[in-house]
Structure 1
Amino acid sequence: MENLFDIPSEYKDLRASVRALAEKEIAPFAKAVDEDHRFPQEAADALQKAGLAAAHVPTEFGGDGADALAVVIIIEEVARVCGASSLIPAVNKLGSLPLMLGGNKDQKQRWLSQLAQGKGFSYCLSESDAGSDASALRTKVERDGDGWILNGSKKWISNAGISEFYTVIAQGDASLGSKGITAFVVEKSDPGVSFGAPEKKMGFRGSPTREVYFDNVKLADDRRISEIGEGFALAMNTLDHTRITIAAQALGLAQGALDVATKYSHERKQFGKEIFDFQGVQFMLADMAMNIEAARQLTYVAASKSESNEKDLRFFSAASKCFASDVAMKVTTDAVQILGGYGYVSDYPVERMMRDAKLTQIYEGTNQIQRIVMARNLPNA
């Protein structure tokens, strides 16, 4: 019988090539990136050179045209050695997907071609008082002749200040609620755009998270990438596709932690034998591997549904992100436990992986919100 649950060879080859690149050109800098709270420029350069920083960009705009599963594998393998570096391809897809879903061909040519050349793209939805309740945003856009004027701020923006382009979701008519919201592309060089200080974070310290401010930013109408009043729907549709990249990130963190813990369990000896030989440790490693494989299958199915835009995507997207991130938190915590005192210090990467894993349960919708999304979109058997 044909193996229906095995990925085609081209994806396996992609995994091997990304893993080799990550081990050689990203892993050696991961510790310093975390400890120094600095952007992983080495990873950015390596990913860009290999065409992996924005592989999802269609070939007609200079990208590789990678499908959703390929992007998942890229992010997974980078996150396996460095969570912060995996946010480069993940944020580029998140920031540019609204343009790909809602923009016209001229707009796509204008910005996607530059993204493919290495100019990053971030996503501006969350605000101080609009996180899980994203429709409560207060960043305001007003008509100005044939154009628009943008005022307000966005919070928790990944790679802010590094990216050249920003998808900004703004309210044009508060009386209409979510139906008054419209989406725009804002450029870093636009007059009136500025950035707050980098947040001091528990994890993902190499990816700058900053507030973005808009002070009377003038935008021509060709910056608008949604129909007027349809920006919120576009933002939510985007997340249905990109939550899967967070699942991929969680997978990579979990797999990296399991790899370290397994290797350590054979090296560490207590009471005259490897700690791997103790049943308690074996049970932990078995559960870690089992749950990672379950999360991987769910994530890959969700990626397939994203590519074909199937009607049950919303459930599978939320489920993959929720399950994989919960697995990552458990696996990385157990990896720290297996390494004992060594797991608690930065000599080994598992404490960094545990800190990074926590965020995957929070951003792009907390796992509590994901469970609400799943409940409202239960698939038919």
Structure 2
Amino acid sequence: MTIVEQTSTGFDEAAFQQLKAEVTEWVRGRGEEWAEEIERTGQVAPELFQELKANGWLSLAAPTELGGRAVPFSRYLEIMEIVSRSHASIRMLVHVINGTWRAMAPYATPEQIEQVVKPSVAGDTLVAFTLTEATAGTGADIRTTVRREGDTYVMNGEKHLITFGVKADYWLIAARLEGTTGQDGTVAFLMPNSGLPGAEVIDDSDTMGIRGTDHAILRFTDVPVPASALLGAEGQGLEVALGGFLLPSRVSVAMSAVGLAERANELAVEYANKRETFGKQLSSRQAIQFYLAENYADIAAARALVLEAARAYEEDRPDAGTLSSASKMVAVDMLARVTDKALQVHGGQGYWKRNAIERVYRDARAQRFEEGTNEIQKLVVGRAVVTGTAGF
């Protein structure tokens, strides 16, 4: 296993290129075997999780002081691009575990760093990002509430579409103080998923794609949450969720769309090169070449925007948030076009589960709502454009 980390002597480019080669080899070999197993069983086996952990791929992005390998964000996305060519549940594990520390670390107490953040980076503790609700958006209108009673907060409400919400050891959860509105009343907790009275966990994992990743509906009825679970200060709940996690996570999801689109087009090329119609290879047909050319250009353009958004985040530029939303908006629309054309190249064969493009096509739909729908991203970008803060 290649060790890559940012040191005082600089980034080890040779080691990083070796890491990329190792990930690529795994994705094409062992990763495909795991993909077939996940589709067959509908589960991510504990052995797969341990394999990802042993390879060091769950701790790529975090700084060394948290036990990570300190791969710079834009370079980490190159690994995400490769991993995303594999099964969506594998991508989801790498994506989430390499990202949740960003929301936790700046606000965590020393005790929370040792008890939750470092174990999460190490892959020993699983933390689920818990924001979305069925009856509200994913921002200042959240309705899950808490009230302070001495050394305890009492929580009521419901969350849904919570990835890893069933198996997580902790929920990184956003709520609001009873009687408040807007962002100022929001709070965040590192809340243990340990049988708290009044907490109901409903397995909601029967999805179109991303088979094997667990998802939960969480219902809270007068659930006692220890005050020591508070992450940051009262009023910082959305700051933790939106700035700490969602901004870079949107860029990561955008790069996952690039990687999956690359896999879809690769499958289309492979099929077109072996399929014959009327004595000629399908790939020699002009209509098919147009599909593949359009896909190539679409992917390249989206990838360039994603990397620009990553650099803006790294440099803490004022347009980082706008570019984050723009990159996801463009990349997921691109993924829809590319996978549709890739499936069309396969003709009727692509509709059967025995062909990998069928799974890729299903998995591609998830990015459309991960970390906010495109409608939300357009609102963010649109507001930046009309107020002159978009950057150009």
Match of 2:131 in 1: 125
2:95 & 2:86 partners in 1: Cα distance?
A: 15
Distance in 2 between residues matched to 1:263 and 1:200, nearest whole Å: 31
- Distance in 2, matches of 1:287 and 1:229, equals 47
Q: 1:107 to 1:215 in 2, by over 3 A?
A: same
Offset of residue 32 of structure 1? 3.2
Kept in 2, the 8 Å contact 1:55–1:65? The answer is yes
Superposed, 1:301-312 pairs within 5 Å as 301-312=308-319
Letter in 1 for 2:84: A
Pairing 1:159–2:164 present: yes
Residue segments in structure 1 that go unaligned for 5+ positions in a row: 1-7
Cα contact 2:128–2:170 (8 A) shared by 1: yes
Cα–Cα, structure 1 residues 126 and 159, in superposed 2: closer, same or farther, change >3 Å? same
Post-superposition offset of 1:130: 1.6
2:100 to 72, 95, 99: 95
Structure with greater contact order relative to length (CA < 8 Å, sep ≥ 6): 1
CA distance in 1, matches of 2:72, 2:127: 18
Which of 352, 355, 366 is residue 345 of structure 1 equivalent to? 352
Map 1:1-381 → 2, pairs under 5 A: 11-118=16-123, 119-132=125-138, 134-189=139-194, 191-192=196-197, 193-237=199-243, 238-378=245-385, 379-381=390-392
- Quote the Cα distance in structure 2 between the aligned partners of 1:376 and 1:35: 45
CA displacement, residues 13-71 of structure 1 (integer Å, 9 cap, x when unaligned):
43222112222322112133134321254442221111112322321122222321233
Give the whole-Å Cα distance in 1 for the aligned partners of 2:61 and 2:178.
33
Counterpart AA for 1:302: A
Amino acid at match of 1:122: A
Does the 8 Å contact 1:250/1:325 carry over to 2? yes
Q: Work out the CA distance in 1 between the residues paired with 2:45 and 2:294.
A: 32
* Secondary structure of the structure 1 residue equivalent to 2:203: coil
How far apart in 2 are the matches of 1:42 and 1:75?
21
Give the secondary-structure state (helix, strand or coil) at the position aligned to 1:102. Answer: coil
Matched pairs, number: 374
Preserved CA contact (<8 Å) 1:194 1:214: yes
For 2:121, the aligned partner's letter is A
Instruction: Give 1:10 shift.
Output: 5.6
CA distance in 2, matches of 1:288, 1:181: 42
Corresponding residue of 2:10: none
Aligned partner of 1:208: which letter?
A: D
CA distance in 2, matches of 1:50, 1:313: 31
Aligned-partner Cα distance in 2 for 1:106–1:65: 22
Question: 1:3: which partner in 2?
Answer: none
**1:190 shift after superposition:** 5.1
**CA 1:247–1:52: 2 relative to 1, 3 Å:** same
Contact 1:26 1:42 in 2 (8 A): no
Asked whether the 8 Å contact 1:140–1:152 carries over to 2, the reply is yes
Q: Is the 8 A contact 2:59 2:121 kept in 1?
A: yes
Cα distance in 1 for partners of 2:99, 2:360 equals 22
| 1:9/1:325 CA distance change after superposition, 3 Å | farther
Per-residue Cα deviation, 1:122-166 (whole angstroms, up to 9, x for no partner): 10001111235x322221111121332223221000112222121
Counterpart residue type for residue 312 of structure 1:
D
Partner of 2:8: none
Distance 1:323 1:42 in 2: 35
Alignment partners' CA distance in 1, 2:262 and 2:14: 21
Contact 1:56 1:93 in 2 (8 A): yes
TM-score, length basis structure 2: 0.89
Distance change (3 Å), C-alpha of 1:154 and 1:36: same
